[in-house]
Structure 1
Amino acid sequence: MTFTAAKKEEIRLRYLEVDSSNVADVLDNMNLLQQGLSSEFAPYPETTKRMAGWAYTIRGQMTPYPQGGDADKMAACQGISSGEISVWSGDGNGICYFGELIALGMKERGSVGALLDGGIRDVRWIGEHQFPVFACYRTPVQSIGRWKVTASQVPVYMRGHDGGNVIVRPGDFILCDDDGAIVIPVEHVETVLIESERLTVIEKNIRIDIANGLSLADALKKYGHV
């Protein structure tokens, strides 16, 4: 599915106004039950509240190699575009995939965040640059000499909410907030957004009515299950 740059940015900004919980409910109703990511994904720094963007995938694996950098990693990072979130997948447990300099380079290219099925370092400085990251852990241990990028813009596996895998393809949509991280397949991105916006309005109205004295039981009678 192809969108214009303006349409992609419109969709991205609208997703920033809905909650991942509503998105998850919509996906469940569409029988898309394996889109939620593991609870291990958390914001770094903790003050990061949410991020939304189009997936730009990067894959790597553990392999020993000489010090001196990872040219394939640098080349992959340079391919990211405006409105995209870099999605990092691999088998590098205990290894940092992503640090301050990569964040700065991606931010310069218009990237709006990073999602790491692995580790992050330079947390304080990434926070200073206001670049949102959700990762599975933090570690000072760099990837150079240990973990190497093998591909970019290919489908990747990310650990899912139930211990299985979630497939993320280039161009799928990523939403992360206080409740966690979820993947919206690109072919459903508009349908899910419209329904999530509808649920968001209902929930706002329920909060207003309850604040004005309506009981929860009566609110559920009025609005139904949300």
Structure 2
Amino acid sequence: MFIDAPTTSITVATRPETSLAAVPDFQKFPVANVGDALDRLNLMDTGIRTQWTGGVCVGPALTVLTREGDNLAIHRALDDAQPGDVLVINALGGTTRAVFGDLLAEVCLAVGIAGVIIDGLTRDRATIEALGLPLWSRGVSPAGPAKFGPGAVSTPIACGGVVVRPGDLVVADDDGVAVVPAERTDEILYRLQKIDQFEEQFRARVREASRSAIAQPAGR
């Protein structure tokens, strides 16, 4: 860790092996379509929202459970981060103290984190935007965190009303956050391709109808 603090209060599970193979394919689709392919399930509630416009991330979940207003477990989790991970944090929906800020953002970028999802608060939003780290949270507070624990790393958590397991595929954009169970990535990708095909055909019909209407001579 980049901080000097005891971590005996943090439970660290063995994380499953993860793959980035599906990431390029899922990067082609918006979260709205991913949600449709998931039967409108596994979408985090609207309180989990982007903290700067234009941030997008796709990657396997590195999960963290932490006490409200405490970020020791987040620091510990980043020791286990792999490039391309999405850091998903259950901070118990806390609305009094931030558990994430620009210094942790710097660490995230250094270890290759693709994005951060927090069921809780952040601070230093403008600096994090300037750094370019995609970030979703319930809001912002200048109040900083403690670093005492307890917490857990690489265990199943709840975030935004959705169960997230280590290694599940997280897809996030300006609309929100979707979670694809790791064992369903092939199935959901197939559904996404079908949805995209339907939408392209629908748009083509609409545009053709529009062109026909414009070309039709006005009645007298």
TM-score, normalising length: structure 1: 0.78
In terms of Rg, which structure is larger? 2
CA distance in 1, matches of 2:156, 2:97: 21
Percent identity reads 23
Judge which range, 123-132 or 70-79, deviates more.
70-79
Counterpart among 54, 60, 83 of residue 48 in structure 1 = 54
CA distance in 1, matches of 2:123, 2:108: 16
Judge which range, 186-195 or 204-213, deviates more.
204-213
Judge conservation of contact 1:58–1:149 (CA < 8 Å) in 2: no
CA distance in 2, matches of 1:149, 1:208: 54
Q: For the structure 1 residues 149 and 196, does the alpha-carbon distance in structure 2 shift closer, same or farther, using more than 3 Å as the test?
A: farther
Judge conservation of contact 2:44–2:159 (CA < 8 Å) in 1: yes
Aligned residue number for residue 153 of structure 2: 152
Deviations 1:73-132 (A, max 9, x none): 422222111111000002233221211111111111111000000111111111111110
Q: For the structure 1 residues 115 and 175, does the alpha-carbon distance in structure 2 shift closer, same or farther, using more than 3 Å as the test?
A: same
Judge which range, 71-80 or 90-99, deviates more.
71-80
TM-score, normalising length: structure 2: 0.79
Which sections of structure 1, spanning at least 5 residues, go unmatched? 65-69, 161-165, 216-226
Which sections of structure 2, spanning at least 5 residues, go unmatched? 1-15, 212-220
Counterpart among 15, 20, 30 of residue 9 in structure 1 = 20
Q: For the structure 1 residues 84 and 209, does the alpha-carbon distance in structure 2 shift closer, same or farther, using more than 3 Å as the test?
A: same
CA distance in 2, matches of 1:51, 1:57: 15
Aligned residue number for residue 195 of structure 1: 191
SS at match of 2:117: strand
Q: For the structure 1 residues 63 and 13, does the alpha-carbon distance in structure 2 shift closer, same or farther, using more than 3 Å as the test?
A: closer
1:208 Cα deviation from its structure 2 partner: 2.8
Judge conservation of contact 1:78–1:106 (CA < 8 Å) in 2: no
CA distance in 2, matches of 1:17, 1:200: 10
Matched AA of 1:56: L
Following superposition, which runs of at least 4 residues in structure 1 exceed 6 angstroms of deviation? Answer: none
Aligned counterparts, 1:162-173, within 5 A: 166-173=162-169
CA distance in 1, matches of 2:127, 2:174: 21
1:9 Cα deviation from its structure 2 partner: 2.9
Structural RMSD (CA):
2.3
CA distance in 2, matches of 1:214, 1:62: 54
